[in-house]
């Protein structure tokens, strides 16, 4: 392995480690989002989504730099592979799988909550129409309300 290849391996390891750290932060945020959904704290949920978006942007930047190195790494023979890089790749894959599962749960929760809120709004709307019908049958004559008993 040449010096350049060794330096590339070190750089790829560093980039992948940084990516893993960001992916773990995303996993933590996604777990936090699950709790926020359970509490119906939509404002904090949206803030958390914004934080996650920022992390995704950072990962994209790292990925742009690591992709050419990763392509070179993948083309190496098995004898020249680096166990540390392979372990980091496995951890990234596992973290992404966990994030995907949590996201699916959060999406399902959001759908259910949306349906619940929609039903509540529909019920309130129906009640308001009922009250509106009752209000129309009550005479709106000021003298009725101004009389002293």
Q: Which residue has the higher pLDDT, 3 or 44?
A: 44
Residue 64 covered by a domain: yes
Give 52-70 pLDDT, tens digit per residue: 999 999 999 999 999 999 9
Query: What is the pLDDT, as a whole number, of residue 147?
Result: 55
- Identify the domain containing residue 55 by its residue range: 8-125
Q: What percent of the chain has pLDDT over 90?
A: 56
Band (pLDDT 50/70/90 cuts) for residue 46 is very high
Q: Is the pLDDT of residue 14 over 60?
A: yes
Give 90-127 pLDDT, tens digit per residue: 999 999 999 999 999 999 998 998 888 788 887 787 77
Beta carbons of 15 and 62 less than 8 angstroms apart: yes
Q: Which two tokens stand for residue 30?
A: 């996604």
Q: Which residue has the higher pLDDT, 46 or 78?
A: 46
d(CA 88, CA 16): 7
CATH of the domain at 25: 1.20.58
Query: What is the pLDDT, as a whole number, of residue 121?
Result: 84
- Tell me how crowded residue 71 is: count the other CB atoms within 10 A of its CB: 9
Residue 73 covered by a domain: yes
Beta carbons of 37 and 110 less than 8 angstroms apart: yes
Residue 1 covered by a domain: no
Query: What is the pLDDT, as a whole number, of residue 75?
Result: 83
């Amino acid at each position: 392995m040449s010096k350049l290849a060794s330096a590339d391996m070190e750089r790829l390891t560093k980039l992948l480690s940084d990516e893993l750290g960001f992916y773990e932060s995303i996993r933590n945020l996604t777990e936090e989002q699950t709790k926020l959904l359970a509490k119906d704290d939509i404002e904090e949920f949206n803030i958390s989504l914004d934080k996650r978006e920022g992390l995704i942007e950072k990962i994209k930047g790292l990925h742009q730099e690591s992709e050419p190195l990763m392509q070179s790494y993948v083309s190496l023979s098995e004898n020249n592979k680096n166990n540390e890089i392979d372990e980091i790749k496995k951890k990234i894959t596992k973290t992404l799988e966990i994030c995907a599962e949590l996201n699916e749960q959060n999406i399902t929760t959001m759908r259910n909550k949306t349906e619940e809120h929609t039903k509540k709004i529909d019920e309130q709307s129906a009640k308001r129409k009922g009250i509106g019908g009752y209000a129309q049958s009550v005479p709106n004559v000021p003298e009725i309300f101004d009389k002293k008993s």
